Structure 1
Amino acid sequence: MELELIRQQLHKRYIEPTKKKREKYIGVEIEMPIVNLSKEAVDFEVVHEITKRFISHFEFSIVGTDDEGNIFSAQSAVNGDILSYDCSYNNLELSFGREQNLFAIQNRFSEYYDFLQNEFKEYNYTLTGMGVNPYRNYNHNVPIPNGRYRMLFHHLNSYRKYIDLPMHFHHYPEYGTFSSASQVQLDVEYDRLALTLNTFSRLEPIKALLFSNSVLLGEEESTLCCRDMFWENSTHGINPHNVGMYDCEFESVDDILSYIETTSIYCVERDGKYINFAPIRLDEYFNRKSVTGEYFDNGIYRKIEIEPRFEDLEYLRTFKFIDLTFRGTVEFRSVCCQPISDSLCVAAFHVGLMDRLDELSALLESDRVIYHHGYNSGELRKILIKRDLPEFIDKDKLYTLAKQIVDLAYDGLVNRNHGEEKLLEPLYQRINSQTNPAKNMLDLKNSGVKLKDIIAEYAKNET
């Protein structure tokens, strides 16, 4: 296929939706680990029972069941909210139908969360606000038994066969079963695409400073956000353009399309079967006559030849910190699950800054606190997810910069006139204390506070 035809299809899928006149909405997804306080594996039968109770209580409709008939996704016909399980039944996700007011989301989140906590309490379980399940080593870290997650687990476990690649793979291919995120989707306008991606890419190091909350307790405690490593040093990162930062300046929509062309596809679906193959760049994939993949069939994986087609773009899944979606939105996905009481500060931060995009861009372009020291934004992100900062960064000036950024978000939220700026209070507290949830957790642990008590603290819903 000609490159121009590929570009036309990418433009149709990712760019044209941003040209449509529409109201601006907010989408929020919050994942949370399920913790068995008895220090035993989470019993999935308990999870299935509580799912049924939730569906009955809130009158959700079943959307998805796994190969064993268990519910992994249900949705409200009233507001579009979804209860689901991400990758495994150890990780519960609440996704909210699009809204224009953050308090509408916060109120429903609080209602759902309080109900779930009350039900889990009966079994000595809890949800909590941590980016890594603190009791992951007790759990059965297995995928949901369905086509998509079985394929994903198979893909991530295939890292051992890439012995000739000049990259380091971590040894946590099951990380999706114990890592939890807080994601935000915001509508974006066509003529602001490049500015949005460039500016929020420069912001990523400061987001690491403020939001880090995923520590591999007892294994790697110098890294405050191991979430980055999970994706970048897995098979998702074989093509580095599929993960992490952009680390380039987009001058136009054509630049953005050129970047998307360099990303890789690693799965498609045919006749209801997910087919996995080694990642292939899009421009190469669509110029092949056939691709050899494998699919799961009654306990074994069988080879299959498929012919690429443009409809396969539906299965292009990148894991960038900032992703342009087919909905005409940008998805911000680099933030860990936050302490429950602080859950909506993530969305508030992004919503406020989107309203002050020009001012944010100017502030970051003129910065000399972290930038202009020989490091790009991706390298700075890797520096600022660490517990200890290098000498070239003045800590007080760093937090002054962070406050300037949060102040911009505050002004943006004030301009929306919903009172949402109060949701940023946790960030001001972190700046004043020069900490973040991961640092705070480690400080509590090192001062002798028991892990079960930290879990309970991060599980509090004081909204």
Structure 2
Amino acid sequence: MKTEDLVKYKLYNEFIKPTTQKKNYIGVEIEIPIINLDKKAVNFDVVHKVTDKFQNEYPDFKTDGIDFDGNVFSLKNSKTDDILCYDCSYNNIEFAMGKEKDLFSINERFSEFYNFVKKSFQEYNHTLTGMGINPYRKYNLNQPIPSERYLMLYHHLKSYKNYKNIRMQFHEYPEYGMFSSASQVQLDVHKDNLVKTINVFSKIEPIKALLFSNSVLFGEDNTLTCFRDILWEYSTHGVNPHNIGGYDVDFKDLDDLQAYLESLNIYCVMRDGAYINFPSINLLDYYSREFVSGEIYCKGKYRKIDIRPCLEDINYLRPFKFINLTFRGTIEFRSICTQPIRDSMCVAAFHLGLKDKLDEMDEIIKNDDVIYHKGYTASELRKLFIQRDIPSFIDKNDLCRLTREIVDLASDGLKERGIGEEIFLKTLYGRIKNHTNPGKSFINSINNGVRLEKIIEDYGKLEAL
């Protein structure tokens, strides 16, 4: 078998074949900024103390990751698969909840862990808040966790100055992983629904921007409600536009989806437990080469190294699409910012409710003339809708009606599950009624003289259902 055919076979086995299993689980990951209320850098010694305290309180969480300095950056409960870890840096904590059949179980454990961790941080005048960009980022040390994965990632993002032969504008925030936070959802989607799920959900990315945007680059840009989109698109992750953002194509079938996977870029692999970076390159081009030149981290420095591509390198293919296929046989929705903590479950509820309403959602979009059929793609509309002000060619009342129709559909989907999870959508109706989202509310509060500290406190509150 030719190398190209082997690569295609491997892609299919890793990304599409796992979706042949009939499962129906929910996975939720919530990244949350850590704030030092003294307006100084987050104290990493405090972070490590809180991690130790959490492990003492919850002994079922075992050490799952230790950095090069001997500090724990990941704890995992093997019974529930819950993970408490730090994402990219010790400025950002993540609660990755193990898969469950219902949202109440996830919310109960998340709430317990969040309350414990927040109270532990408050003992040192630190806190947590529900924002997609750390509002105190200017005080923090932008240092990656000293581990294979995060040193590699930061090195890759810093390499944007080396891409001189492509026409692309890069931003100057290669450390953005250390101050941006997302709320991600993974759902089991069967192979039969894979293409339609991606096609239909891609069309509502503009609506999701309206509902969930919550990452304002405070102090530098108060016009965008979801600056996270910019951070991903104009970084080295966006060298190949297929690796980031939405899908502006309708897949006809699984062969089309497979072809899209083949169009992705790869930028890292591992050899003998060490990551190797190289300039972002199309996957099939990578496998057409006998050797690829990269860099490896060794004893505090990077040195050049040549590697021979091998089939297992596909395991390190890391696209960052708004909708990602994963090795677990799930679809991961990753375009949404961390929400105010009291609203954390609204993200999973929205996607879960719509998952089995594809035909109805597709019908709404096909018949829509509020945002579609005006010359704009879904990606272009999303870029317009992360602005503080909606474009004048969109009727705001009609837009609210369309948005409510989508949320109503999600609510119907949850009601049919018969568990009561539709309660988690309540906050979205308030946002629709008030023509707002957390990012807009943040900007309006600042413009109206509300102290930043007050907003941080408010967005960090966890309220009972």
- Is the TM value for this pair above 0.5? yes
CA distance in structure 2 between the partners assigned to 1:4 and 1:269 by the alignment: 22
- The corresponding residue for 2:350 is 349
- The corresponding residue for 1:28 is 28
Give the drift of 1:80: 1.0
Give the drift of 1:163: 2.2
Give the drift of 1:419: 0.4
Secondary structure at the aligned position of 2:412 is classed as helix
Residue 52 of structure 1 aligns to which amino acid in structure 2? Answer: D
CA distance in structure 2 between the partners assigned to 1:247 and 1:394 by the alignment: 24
Q: TM-score scaled to structure 2, two decimals?
A: 0.98
- The corresponding residue for 1:57 is 57
Give the drift of 1:364: 1.0
- The corresponding residue for 1:377 is 378
CA distance in structure 2 between the partners assigned to 1:365 and 1:303 by the alignment: 52
- The corresponding residue for 1:142 is 143
Q: TM-score scaled to structure 1, two decimals?
A: 0.99
Secondary structure at the aligned position of 1:374 is classed as coil
Pair 1:99 & 2:92 matched: no
CA distance in structure 2 between the partners assigned to 1:358 and 1:184 by the alignment: 21
Q: How does 1:233-272 map to 2 (within 5 A)?
A: 233-272=234-273
Pair 1:11 & 2:8 matched: no
- The corresponding residue for 1:42 is 42
- The corresponding residue for 2:134 is 133
Residues 286-305 of structure 1: per-residue CA shift (max 9 Å, x gap): 11111111111122211111
- The corresponding residue for 1:336 is 337
Give the drift of 1:77: 2.4
Residue 393 of structure 1 aligns to which amino acid in structure 2? Answer: I
- The corresponding residue for 1:289 is 290
Percent of aligned pairs with the same amino acid: 56
- The corresponding residue for 2:171 is 170
Pair 1:215 & 2:216 matched: yes
Give the drift of 1:412: 0.2
Residues 309-366 of structure 1: per-residue CA shift (max 9 Å, x gap): 1100110000000001111110000000000000000000000000211111111121
Residue 335 of structure 2 aligns to which amino acid in structure 1? Answer: S
Residues 29-67 of structure 1: per-residue CA shift (max 9 Å, x gap): 000000001100001000000001001101110000000
Residues 401-438 of structure 1: per-residue CA shift (max 9 Å, x gap): 00000000000000011100000000000001110000
Gaps in structure 1 of 5+ consecutive residues: none
Secondary structure at the aligned position of 1:97 is classed as strand
Residue 336 of structure 1 aligns to which amino acid in structure 2? Answer: C
CA distance in structure 1 between the partners assigned to 2:301 and 2:82 by the alignment: 36
Gaps in structure 2 of 5+ consecutive residues: none
CA distance in structure 1 between the partners assigned to 2:100 and 2:422 by the alignment: 16
Residue 35 of structure 2 aligns to which amino acid in structure 1? Answer: V
Residues 88-125 of structure 1: per-residue CA shift (max 9 Å, x gap): 00000000110011000000011001101111111111
Residue 105 of structure 1 aligns to which amino acid in structure 2? Answer: I
Instruction: Identify which range, 295-304 or 206-215, moves more after superposition.
Output: 295-304
Give the drift of 1:392: 1.2
Pair 1:183 & 2:184 matched: yes
Give the drift of 1:380: 0.5
CA distance in structure 1 between the partners assigned to 2:369 and 2:5 by the alignment: 41
Give the drift of 1:455: 0.2
- The corresponding residue for 2:115 is 114
Count of matched residue pairs: 462
CA distance in structure 2 between the partners assigned to 1:444 and 1:285 by the alignment: 49
Secondary structure at the aligned position of 2:204 is classed as helix
Secondary structure at the aligned position of 2:373 is classed as coil
CA distance in structure 1 between the partners assigned to 2:266 and 2:67 by the alignment: 24
Give the drift of 1:446: 1.1
Give the drift of 1:139: 0.3
Give the drift of 1:388: 1.2
